[in-house]
Structure 1
Amino acid sequence: MSKKSILISDYHHKELKKLSEALGLSYYKLVEEMITYFKKTGINPQESKNESPARALKELDKRMVSFLKVQERDILKPLRQEVYNYSKEQNHEIQKTSDTVIEVLNKMNTNETQRANTMLEEIKKQRMVALSIAKLLDAKNKSGLLSKINTIFE
């Protein structure tokens, strides 16, 4: 590394000396770090507003909070409402389907009850027919046909 010289005013030399002592760096190392810092951050030292990084972070924090609030208002809340409405609609559809299934099952039960009653009536008629035929065939119950049919139906 070759040595280079730069010209600075007495005031700035004193400030450089104070900074190097405060930061524990030699002059050349402090100047190198300054150059690297300005290069990395893109800060123009001539346009310095004497802003502290903490203040810049607070401003950035405010911007982030504002951004998040806008996202919440424009995206998250409508999305939440949409999900709530969809859920409510699904519950309504489930209830409607459940009611329909119950109604169909009740109709089936009623129809089966009617069918069973009709069959019982038909069986009663057939029993009466069988008894009437047995009475005609065996008027005095000599062969025991009527009593046999009665024991079968009991």
Structure 2
Amino acid sequence: MAKKSILISTYHHKELAKLSDAFGFSYYKLVEEMITYFKKTGINPLDSKNENPSMALKTLDKRLISFIKIQERDILKPLRQEVYDYSQEQKQEIQKSYKILVEELSRIDHHERERANTTLAEIKKQRKAVIAIAQLIDAKNKSGILSKINNIFD
């Protein structure tokens, strides 16, 4: 490797020595790393505002958190509320449907009971008619038809 020399002021040479001691690099290695750092980061050393990269990260972090909070406020919370409202509406609709279903089943049950009672009343009438016919046919119950019919109905 060919070595090159650079001219720097005494003040900057002392600062280079301090940095070299602090980081544990030789002068040439420290200068090489500085060049690589400026090249990778794209930072212009002449345009130094004495910004610390960690401060830039904190600022970016604050902006990101602010962005997330705004998204939460403007999108997520309203969306959550809409979902909650929709679920409440669905719950009310289900309750209404359930109430209507219970009323309808109750009405059907009432009609079925009326139909069953009407059918039973008709069967009782028919039973009385059959017994009356049997009594007319066999007035003295000689053939035993009346007792046979009564046994069938019991």
Shift in Å, 1:119: 1.2
1:60-71 aligned within 5 A: 60-71=60-71
Q: Which residue of 2 aligns with 1:120?
A: 120
CA distance in 2, matches of 1:93, 1:103: 15
Q: Distance in 2 between matches of 1:75 and 1:28?
A: 54
Q: Which amino acid aligns with 1:37?
A: Y
Structure-2 separation of matches of 1:40 and 1:111: 88
Q: Give, in whole Å, the separation in 1 of the partners of 2:82 and 2:29.
A: 60
Contiguous gaps of at least 5 residues in structure 1 = none
Q: Which moved more, 1:24-33 or 1:5-14?
A: 5-14
Partners of 1:152 and 1:57 in 2: CA distance: 99
Deviation of 1:73 (Å): 0.5
Letter matched to residue 91 of structure 1: K
Q: Are residues 1:87 and 2:87 paired?
A: yes
User: What does residue 103 of structure 1 align with?
Assistant: 103
Deviation at 1:77, TM superposition (A): 0.3
Q: Percent identity?
A: 69
Q: CA deviation at 1:66?
A: 0.8
Structure 2 Cα separation of the partners of residues 71 and 39 of structure 1: 36
Q: Distance in 1 between matches of 2:28 and 2:119?
A: 112
Aligned to 1:130: 130
- C-alpha distance in 2, partners of 1:28/1:93? 79
TM-score (normalizing by structure 1): 0.90
Q: Deviations over 1:35-76 (max 9, x none)?
A: 111122221111111122332232222212211110110111
- Does 2:61 correspond to 1:57? no
Equivalent position amino acid for 1:146 in 2 = L
Q: CA RMSD in A?
A: 1.6
- Number of residue pairs aligned between Structure 1 and Structure 2: 154
Q: Partners in 2 of 1:56 and 1:70 — Cα distance?
A: 21
